[in-house]
Structure 1
């Protein structure tokens, strides 16, 4: 049995239709359990909920010991990078279809949250990527990613060519629409649709894979996460790099994207008995046709 939570933040996808009554219902339920409730300030501002304190992400990190994120995986992804800076654990409640990291449905939030709030739960630590862009020896951009760092071709270019180095070793020149460096969490995101493998969350590694490679022999590689991956622009116009939702466009030839394991990690809280494999079965419909 873990320590009971005391101060809970509610974060919502405020653009979603019908989100206000759902947030109110969840906040009231948590409050009735004897916990202090507050709202993330953008959530409060955009929904008009004023009966709870509205705090900035920094204030949430300093005052709260749990955040309940209501929305989909995209909502969770955006807030998780901020929460990781403060070590704030997260529970995901999905308003629509079951997510990979928002695994509690709105219909069952009471049954799932009750033991969690009392301290009975599964703890799930996820690694983050720290990336930077270097030009002529200068660091011109930095980003943090829970899912992936993606270098991709420009809108008018036919491809991008990248030199790939891992640690002190040259790996390959990849000619493709782009290259993904993904975490185990990100292996079920863009990397999955690009043909990459699914990595279990407890694997300490990254997946490196080209997007629509122009060479059939370029295949996905699973790398250890203790070294730096460097992607250098060799050819291609207007290439860009994306750190989850943070982008830098118009990369130049010779620009180098450096990716390494961040010192930060995201902490997800799941109901007791949560299983990565069960989530995959439901989300990817692996059970279809079995009976």
Structure 2
């Protein structure tokens, strides 16, 4: 049977062997995956930084833009953080992504590394479930000018400085004043990001099919200041009123330093991240497995 995906990009994290050799290096893993794809009749293309940092050779190399324009599948080897980074970059090209989990939790990189061949073989021959995830488009405005522009798949987080007290933020939703928030920070999370920082701060789990996001204060001064679920069709505006050395983080992978008076706007991106999961995958199985529900239940 021929592979449904002819041109497959291979992207990964750059992990060295662990002390004592308990985990193989990323190069060995990526090489094994590339060889397997070759046996399935696929043309393998290495992402530029992946090739440069691992020293893997013998395959064509492209940057992310080239992959987006030329490949019909991106295979990401790493953890959720690796997938978040590449998911944001490839979303504008509508390239689907499959994740082989080399990290810990693996909410969106869900193929176990130990036996990837069996699962991956079925998927590249068309046996998979497709899962489209909404993304955020965030901007930082200063004196009427956009000084930072980023996409986020998980969350947009305004944080206080490392050595200072709380920040104060004025929050609007669709032009309606919501509240002045005094807290260590504020999280605006997509359903995908509801299992990340927002969950640690007391936010709810949200099914990825929901057209919504959640606003979660971090250690709020007022205990009645609780998480709230919002429709993702409008605009959330956060004005920094008080607090020093504050920053805005996007998926915790890109950062903008904030000044008093800065405004952060968050809207739904026109792009989606497309994840492919093994046949039979469902969100509740993932939650049960990753959050260790029902352990110890007879």
TM-score normalised by the shorter chain: which range applies?
A: over 0.9
1:121–1:144 distance in 2 versus 1, CA, 3 Å: same
Per-residue CA deviations over 1:106-162 (Å, capped at 9, x if unaligned) read: 112111111111112100000110000111211111111111000011122210011
Contact 2:129/2:276, CA 8 A, preserved across alignment:
yes
CA distance in 1, matches of 2:297, 2:213: 32
Aligned residue for 1:288, secondary structure, equals coil
Q: How far apart are 1:8 and its partner, in Å? A: 0.4
CA distance in 2, matches of 1:179, 1:97: 26
Contact 1:98/1:105, CA 8 A, preserved across alignment:
no
**Partner residue in 2 for 1:53:** 60
| Runs of 4+ deviating beyond 6 Å | none
Spell out the pairing of 1:30-45 with structure 2 (5 A cutoff). 30-45=37-52
1:218 aligns with 2:225: yes
Q: How far apart are 1:98 and its partner, in Å? A: 4.3
1:248 aligns with 2:223: no
5+ residue gaps, structure 2, are: 18-24
1:126–1:254 distance in 2 versus 1, CA, 3 Å: same
1:72–1:16 distance in 2 versus 1, CA, 3 Å: farther
**Partner residue in 2 for 1:158:** 165
CA distance in 2, matches of 1:98, 1:162: 32
**Partner residue in 1 for 2:236:** 229
**Partner residue in 1 for 2:6:** 6
CA distance in 1, matches of 2:226, 2:245: 24
Q: How far apart are 1:234 and its partner, in Å? A: 1.1
Aligned residue for 1:219, secondary structure, equals coil
Contact 1:178/1:211, CA 8 A, preserved across alignment:
yes
Q: How far apart are 1:11 and its partner, in Å? A: 0.6
**Partner residue in 1 for 2:22:** none
5+ residue gaps, structure 1, are: none
Per-residue CA deviations over 1:181-219 (Å, capped at 9, x if unaligned) read: 000111111111111001110011010010001100100
CA distance in 2, matches of 1:16, 1:182: 32
CA distance in 1, matches of 2:104, 2:169: 36
Aligned residue for 1:223, secondary structure, equals strand
Per-residue CA deviations over 1:52-90 (Å, capped at 9, x if unaligned) read: 111100111111000110011111111111111211110
**Partner residue in 2 for 1:92:** 99
CA distance in 1, matches of 2:288, 2:223: 30
Contact 1:9/1:64, CA 8 A, preserved across alignment:
yes
Aligned residue for 1:253, secondary structure, equals coil
CA distance in 2, matches of 1:231, 1:182: 14
CA distance in 1, matches of 2:68, 2:263: 33
Q: Using structure 2 for the length normalisation, give the TM-score.
A: 0.94
Contact 1:98/1:283, CA 8 A, preserved across alignment:
yes
Contact 1:98/1:104, CA 8 A, preserved across alignment:
no
Per-residue CA deviations over 1:234-272 (Å, capped at 9, x if unaligned) read: 1111111011211111x2222110000001110000000
Spell out the pairing of 1:1-291 with structure 2 (5 A cutoff). 4-17=4-17, 18-244=25-251, 245-249=253-257, 251-291=258-298
Query: Size of the alignment, in residue pairs?
Result: 288
